[in-house]
Amino acid sequence: MKMKTVCCWLENLLFILTFKVCFNKCFQLTELQSLVEDGHFCCLPTAFLWYEIYQQVCTLCAGTTLNSTPVGRFCSSSAGRIDGRCCLRNNSTEDPEDVIGLDLSNCSLSHIDDLHGAYTVLMIDLSFNPIVNISDTAFQGFRDLNYMILPQDIVCPGGNASWQKVEVTEGKRLCEGQKNMCNQSRQLSINCPENSLCAPFGPGLVECSCAENYHGYKCLREGDFPTIQVFGPLAASTVVISILLWVTERRKAKSI
């Protein structure tokens, strides 16, 4: 019984340490996210993440990308490899499975809601689809998206002002060259609160992250995150409870 109680105490302590590491990592990230980059997948296995991405994006439409399509030609020129409807980066030792091209043309898609599994994409083809709505958050975090092909009656994400070049030809709308919607210095922006920095976050979108030595709601708190103040009481209370449980179990064992 004593050994069981000690093991339980060690498990609780290990849980606290693991939670602290994961929380600190996620807190320090300035990415969304939500979605998709670094902090979104904090402390999760890479293989599992890629499986989810593949299921959600690369198999969203049946078939495979052909070499004769715009995404196929882009993939070939970028030394990538085709997998389903995705073109994967094939020349990076750090992120060999990054999606850099996504071909969802002629897939009978009427709504575009969640493509966050392909946030690293450089080119997307959504042409020849009966699209009636594209979610406002569909392309959040798509910082590197530089070329889109849409049905001609669909407006480029973020509007024409978010792209360097917009052209309609052969029943398609081409959106090329995503603009940085922050000011040129990438410092304080009218869209961000005081003590924060502005960074591009997809077509027509910006992300505000706290400047150095600032944190909290709207970056109003100055100084480092109070790790000890937050996790100290939690660790102390867990230790006290574990000791109480150990004493209680020991008394029960003696009374038997």
* Calpha distance 209→215 (Å, rounded): 9
pLDDT in tens, 148-190: 999 999 999 999 999 999 999 999 999 999 999 886 554 445 6
Contact 88, 80 (CB under 8 A): yes
What percent of the chain clears pLDDT 70, i.e. is strictly above it?
A: 69
pLDDT of residue 226: 63
pLDDT of residue 150: 97
- Cβ burial, residue 94 (10 Å; 0-12/13-18/19+): exposed
45: Cα within 13 Å, side-chain hemisphere: 4
pLDDT in tens, 200-236: 999 999 898 888 888 888 888 887 666 776 777 888 8
pLDDT in tens, 144-155: 999 999 999 999
243: left (phi over 0), alpha (psi -120 to 50) or beta: alpha
Instruction: Tell me which amino acid residue 116 is.
Output: H
The predicted model gives 31-48 an average pLDDT of: 41
Domain ranges of the chain: 2-16+227-251, 44-179, 182-219
Q: How far apart are the first and last CA of the chain?
A: 12
Structure-model confidence comparison of residues 123 and 246, the more confident one: 123
Distances (CA, A) of 100 to 25, 50, 183: 26, 14, 27
Encode burial over 37-51: b for 16+ CB neighbours within 10 A, e otherwise.
bebbbeeeeeeeebe
pLDDT of residue 69: 94
Residue 237 scores a pLDDT above 80: yes
Residue 28 scores a pLDDT above 50: no
Paired tokens of 218: 């709207």
Q: Which pTM was predicted?
A: 0.65
Contact 103, 57 (CB under 8 A): no
Contact 109, 89 (CB under 8 A): no
Distances (CA, A) of 180 to 37, 116, 183, 184: 19, 20, 8, 8
Q: Determine which of 40-49, 86-95, 133-142 has the lowest per-residue pLDDT on average.
A: 40-49
Instruction: Please give the full DSSP string across 41-65, using - where no structure is assigned.
Output: GTT--HHHHHHHHIIIIITSSSS--
Residue 41 scores a pLDDT above 60: no
